[in-house]
Amino acid sequence: MPVFPTLAAFFRRHKKKLLWTSAVGFSLYLLVNQFVIKRFRNFQNSLKQELLVKEQIRRRFIQTQQDCYLTILALLPVLTQPVLNFLPTEAITSALKRKKNTNKEMSDSLTTENLMAHSSQDIGGSTSDLSVFLSKSKLELWHDLKVKSISRMLALIYSSAGLLLLTRLQLNILARKAYLESAIVMAGGSVPQNSQSSFDYFIEQSYLSLSWWLLNHGWMRVANGLETLVESKFKEITPKTEMTVETFTQMLSEINAGVIADGQLVKNLLFPTEYDSLIETLMNTNPELVNELENKESNLVKLINETNFIIANDFTLHVFSSLVRSGVDTLGDSISVALNPDNVPGRVHKLATFLAQLSVQSSVICDPQNASEDEAGTGNIYINNFNDLDELDEFSASIYSNFE
Ligand SMILES: *[C@@H]1O[C@H](CO)[C@@H](O)[C@H](O)[C@H]1NC(C)=O
Ligand SMILES: *[C@@H]1O[C@H](CO)[C@@H](O)[C@H](O)[C@H]1NC(C)=O
């Protein structure tokens, strides 16, 4: 966590991170008018007060980031289960396995043992998928397995990174109001009484529930986009193609570069930035608030406006891209540990071996409790590495400090 040298320097430092062209409009709803801010600044001259305020802000900041981490762990099963069902690699593996039993001569050349080792879990509920896959040829099944295994791992990285980023964005916008008010009170200022009405509270909860979009539609848009990119990138790669872990992860990074270059896919993942998507999201979460969108003074409209503004910002895309890179690095490291623990340079493995590893790694990233005891026992290595990224704290801090 960053240590803030002085309160003023903290604000100055992070304000530069984002170019807030229309930030003035956004901050009005905070009830922090120029007058109150000025009073706040005057009181900063008192060193003792400043230290108190600084400590208070630091504690709240850290607490908010921790809340985000716990929120995403709680939502992880809700987020990942549909992705797993949408790209059903287990059903494909089962179909391949059956073909192998009935059609021995064709299967001898393919290294499937590794793959099968991880596919013994039940494929509950997907028997219909299975019959679709059983009607395909073995070659088609390998093609599907290749595209869907890789797309699935990437879709899991993208959607969990996206959910963490969105949660940081939303909770820091909401926490900013509370922390500013308390800082002002500590500095001897006053904030309007009953500034938090129950309707405000309802609006804030409704604003948070807009993550419905990411959980229900956003991930699927990105999964579809990824499937197309994976298909063309891995076109020439057969299950028997051999490559190093570095080559494999390099190919994944190149796919990511394509996604990031088309920023629209990332925006569509994170938030209902289009009007129709927003209406659909509200209809499914708080339909009574659809009319609220007409009211320009509504806190909901201001919150949505600021969120869209932040999501459209290049710095946000940069942070998202760092998260995805961290996910692919974690994947590469985990596969290396499994396949090449002695770090033998240039050691190659068949694509089939990588696909088996992807199956293991996709269960790790979906597991809210896959960290070893010495890593505090919560989360998993993917989410924990996301959460430790410096850029993510800078992102949070830039939202925190955007109040004038
Ligand atoms: C929302 O943002 C747009 C521009 O991005 C601006 O024209 C509009 O006035 C803003 N609305 C509110 C209520 O702040
Ligand atoms: C994490 O998940 C993997 C794969 O499912 C498993 O082999 C490993 O034991 C798990 N680790 C912990 C600490 O739960």
CA atoms within 13 A on the CB side of 377: 1
Q: What is the pLDDT of residue 125?
A: 43
**What's the average model confidence in pLDDT over 142-149?**
93
Contact assessment for residue 50 and residue 44, using Cβ atoms and an 8 Å cutoff: yes
**Rounded Cα–Cα distance for residues 226 and 262 (Å):** 12
pLDDT at 373 over 90: no
**Rounded Cα–Cα distance for residues 206 and 59 (Å):** 26
Ligand located closest to 303 CA: 1
For ligand 1, atom 2, name the residue with the nearest CA.
305
What confidence tier does 20 reach under pLDDT thresholds 50, 70, 90? very low
For ligand 1, atom 13, name the residue with the nearest CA.
296
Q: Name the pTM for this structure.
A: 0.81
The amino acid that residue 176 corresponds to is: R
pLDDT at 225 over 60: yes
H helix runs in 313-350, sequence order: 314-339
Pocket of ligand 2 (CB under 6 A): 360, 363-364, 367, 370, 372
Sequence-separated (6 or more) residues with CB below 8 Å from residue 400: 14, 61, 172, 175, 176, 179
Above pLDDT 70, what percent of the chain? 76
**Rounded Cα–Cα distance for residues 394 and 94 (Å):** 45
Ligand located closest to 370 CA: 2
Mean per-residue pLDDT of the chain: 81
Contact assessment for residue 93 and residue 119, using Cβ atoms and an 8 Å cutoff: yes
**Rounded Cα–Cα distance for residues 52 and 187 (Å):** 9
Instruction: Express each pLDDT in 381-393 by its tens digit.
Output: 999 999 999 999 9
pLDDT at 2 over 50: no
Reading the block at residue 248, the tokens are 């494999």
Q: What is the pLDDT of residue 136?
A: 85
**Rounded Cα–Cα distance for residues 163 and 82 (Å):** 14
For ligand 1, atom 4, name the residue with the nearest CA.
305
Q: Domains of the chain: which residue ranges?
A: 24-96+136-401
Pocket of ligand 1 (CB under 6 A): 25, 296, 301-302, 305
pLDDT at 298 over 60: yes
Burial class (CB in 10 A: 0-12, 13-18, 19+), 187: buried
For ligand 1, atom 3, name the residue with the nearest CA.
305
pLDDT at 398 over 60: yes
For ligand 1, atom 1, name the residue with the nearest CA.
305
How close is the Cα of 310 to the center of ligand 1, in Å? Answer: 13
pLDDT at 294 over 80: yes
Contact assessment for residue 333 and residue 382, using Cβ atoms and an 8 Å cutoff: no
Ligand located closest to 338 CA: 2
How close is the Cα of 369 to the center of ligand 2, in Å? Answer: 9
pLDDT at 291 over 70: yes
Above pLDDT 90, what percent of the chain? 55
